[in-house]
Each structure stands twice: as structure tokens, then as C-alpha cells.
Amino acid sequence: MLILIKENAQQMSLEAAQQVASQIKLKPDSVIGFATGSTPLAMYKELIKMHKEDGLDFSKITSFNLDEYVELPPSHPESYHYFMWENLFKHININPSNVHIPMGMAGNIDAFCDWYEEKIKSYGGIDLQILGIGGNGHIAFNEPGSSLGSRTRIKTLGLKTRLDNSRFFSNLDEVPKYAITMGVGTIMEAKKLLLLANGINKADAIKATVEGPIMAKYPATIVQLHRYATIIIDNEAASKLEGEYIDK
């Protein structure tokens, strides 16, 4: 793993955007795995800026999102379909036919998950997978206890995850109890991983991910085994690390 510690969330986001841009410039038809949530928002703003001001070209990339709530229609303001189009896709020149986001309204979710796995394979796999991390160490919606070899599937969301996400809804009861998520095994097959975290509330999860033993209790710890994993964090998220890492 390469651990980059930045002064604040804005610097973290700029570094992350530069790495995504480098991947696209290196391979214009890259397959990019996107994440949602508050952590990547500033990075997406930087990518939009690079597109509009520097001509960063997204026209040939293919995207696959990590997850989506079950039974939220794409038009719902808290669906990840809505999130991605509002915060990134409608501001860049991505080809809509190359956008793939799990369909939470699928009639047969198991069949959809199998299709999603095969679709990723049909594009030769994901070149760069962007990840956030939950306070309990989850990646995507792979909650603590998830199999480290798991594939895209439906998952029951834990109470902590639902509480964390309740800030986006009117109350906890409105937060969906299920989600479709790429599995840990699916994520680990990406050629490169880019994990982002900021804030003191992520310090324990980052400590476990970077310096703890690999265990299903903290699914993010599996990234220790990835050949090309980069973790970009701010000073607060890095505050409990004991080792010496790159302050770039």
C-alpha cells in the first residue's frame, strides 16, 4: 500500500482527482469504479473543473458504481443514480451508455447481481476503483463480517451504517435496510485501488485498515493484500497511525 497523508480534506481531494486524471490520460478508455457518499464529493468537483478548464476527456471511459440502495428508484434524491448524475456525470462528457450503476429496483436482484459481475468482466475488469470507508471499516456496503471473497450481492445494512447515512434522510426509518453492493472479492480484482478518508471519525477505521490484522470484522483491511492500493487521507484520519508514511 501507498499511504499519502494530506493536510486537509481539500488537499486529499485534489491529490485523488489528479490520480484519477492520470489514469484517464494514460488510458482514455479506462474502466473506473466510482463511489458515493460525502468523502468523494470534493474530488468530483475537482474532476469537473479539470474537464471544463483543462479538457480532461471522459468520453471513452466506462463507469461501474459500487452500490445502490434497494427499492429506491433512480429519481429518488438519495439514490446513488441521482447522486452520481447530479455530482459528476451531468457535468462531464461521459457517454451515458457507458454508465453502470446497480439497479435497486430490479425485479430479480440475484439475477441482476450476476449480470453486473459479468458486465464488469466483459469490459476486462475495473482499471481503477475509488473507495471510501465507513466508520466501522466497511467498504462499499460490505458490512463487518462480510466474506472477503464475496461477489456483487444484496446486503442487509447494519445499524451503524444506517445511522451514519440517516443524515441524508429525514429520519432513520427512511434509510433503506438493504443495498446491492460489489463484493470484497469483486473490488479486489480491480487493477488499482484508490481509498479516501478524512476526518477524526475515520481515524479508528484507518488505523485498523492500515496497521491492523486482516479480518472480516473490518472488511477494508483486505486492501493490505492488493498489489496497487493507494490510500489518501487527511491529518485527522491519520491521527492514530503509528507508522511513518508519506506526507506528499
Residues assigned a catalytic role: 67, 136, 138, 143
State which amino acid sits at residue 240.
Answer: K
